[in-house]
Amino acid sequence: MEKKQGFFSALKEEVVRTLSPARSRNASPGRGAWSRRKKLERSAADPEPLIWRSGSLRPVMEGPDPDEQGGQDLRRRRGSGSSLGSWVRGQLYSSSGSGGGGGGGGVGCSKADLRVLLGVMGAPLSPVHVSSLDPLPHLSIKDTPIETSSAQYILQQYTAASGGQKLQNSIRNAYALGKLKMTTSEFETATKVIKNRNAAETGGFVLWQMNPDMWYVELSVGGSKVHAGCNGNLVWRHTPWLGAHTAKGPVRPLRRALQGLDPRTTASLFADAKCIGEKKLNGEDCFILKLCADPHTLTARSEGPAEIIRHVLFGYFSQKTGLLVYMEDSHLTRIQSSGGDAVYWETTINSFLDDYRPVEGVMIAHSGRSIVTLFRFGEMAMSHTKTRMEESWTIEEVAFNIPGLSEECFIPPGDLKSGSISEACELPQEERAKGSSISTHRAKVAALEKSHEL
């Protein structure tokens, strides 16, 4: 208990000083903060160098070195925002002289690979808007479809297994800190498969949440950092290649929080889901709930030539424990280039949640892994590509109702761009104007850049 009180008292002071995204970007650190930072930098030999004990990530370089891969030719072609373009060009150029099944053997991902990992897996959002203040539906049998009433029953069992609605409603804010490892495991074209054996980057993340509907996440991997947040009214995100920008569409929860860290929001998210059946997963019988984003939400998230066609989320709830053990969401985007064929990008994220343990009475998944597949297809079969990425994580610390956490800690960054950016449109202006004159390789680059952000 004394150790816990000491943690909270130290946390209260550090939160007020360093957590606010606006303060951290617009104000110079005071002498105390500078002294603490120097101490942390001197402790680089610590086995957890990326994680502050106060629940924040150690300052690192905001972006990977763009000059590492592809040489002078890649640097000439790069463009101001083409992180995914750099990655695809690197894959295509590096594979041009290799055999059909070749693969890298390094212990770390290339810089371009790392950008894709952070862009796609760093801070994706849930399919639909949901508020932590929304009441959970009451179980209703009369005049209710069996798919709906079954889903309501499953969610009641999940809420009870997670600690109970009364306990969850008493949580005003939460904090979680974890370690993770990201890997780009495979890149496949119509003619060859390129495997990155043992290529991985490790890092950490810290997540803060507060009612109603506020959250902030920092994720640092391989010397690069992505952070995103929501102040209850808008969602913003900062990446080294785009800077700070708002996300299109309604305010939505962070998907990482749904991976066993926030049962209250998870139950609210599936409140309108349908039960579509049962399935055995890893030897465990599960109920399956299906949630689809409505057309209005999909339209709000689309922009220009990029149209989000569907976003579907499946939740697998254990019949034995009642807990969520697996999530799968599929996100399909159609991109119509001027005077050309349509290109489709399908992003699928499969997440396994493991090691549930109680934290102050709330069941929290302390480990898990996600497998992400990016599939590009269109009229030309030779242009189809498929990329497979993986992430595994462990949770080191979780705490609720932290003293000193306030709305000021969720202020968007001061350099936030006024125009929102679609999750499917990141192509630099110079790439948009190329049209049919670009080569086949450049066409692949353009298609991927347009469909980047989840």
Place of tokens 């009475």: 361
Q: Residue 212: is the preceding peptide bond cis (ω within 30°)?
A: yes
Residue pair 328/351 in contact by the 8 Å Cβ criterion: yes
> In this structure, what token pair is assigned to residue 73?
């030719």
Residue pair 454/124 in contact by the 8 Å Cβ criterion: yes
> In this structure, what token pair is assigned to residue 128?
């639909």
**DSSP per-residue codes, 259-278:** TTT-HHHHHHHGGG-EEEEE
- Chain centroid to CA 101: 30
Residue pair 383/401 in contact by the 8 Å Cβ criterion: no
CB atoms within 10 A of CB 127: 24
Query: Does pTM top 0.95 for this prediction?
Result: no
Q: How far apart are CA 231 and CA 247, in angstroms?
A: 12
Residue pair 162/42 in contact by the 8 Å Cβ criterion: no
Place of tokens 């079954």: 150
Q: How far apart are CA 265 and CA 132, in angstroms?
A: 6
List the pLDDT tens digit at each of the 454 positions of the chain. Answer: 554 455 444 544 554 444 444 444 444 333 333 333 333 334 333 434 444 444 555 444 333 333 333 333 333 333 333 344 444 444 444 433 333 333 333 456 666 677 778 888 889 999 999 887 777 766 666 666 788 889 999 999 999 999 999 999 999 999 999 999 998 777 787 778 877 766 788 999 999 999 999 999 999 988 888 999 999 999 999 888 778 888 888 999 999 999 999 999 999 999 999 999 999 999 999 999 999 999 999 999 988 888 999 999 999 999 999 999 999 999 999 988 777 788 899 999 999 999 999 999 999 999 999 999 999 888 777 778 888 899 999 999 999 999 999 999 999 988 776 555 655 543 323 233 333 332 333 344 334 444 444 4
Q: How far apart are CA 263 and CA 273, in angstroms?
A: 15
Map residue 444 onto helix, strand or coil: helix
Residue pair 196/388 in contact by the 8 Å Cβ criterion: no
**DSSP per-residue codes, 140-170:** --TT--HHHHHHHHHHHHHHHHTT-HHHHHT
Q: How far apart are CA 224 and CA 202, in angstroms?
A: 11
Parallel, antiparallel, or unpaired for β 385-400 and 214-221? Answer: unpaired
Residue pair 92/77 in contact by the 8 Å Cβ criterion: no
Place of tokens 């690069």: 224
Closest CA to 220 of 416, 59, 112: 59
Domain ranges of the chain: 6-42+51-450
Closest CA to 451 of 116, 217, 227: 116
- Chain centroid to CA 161: 26
Q: How far apart are CA 347 and CA 25, in angstroms?
A: 32
Map residue 142 onto helix, strand or coil: coil
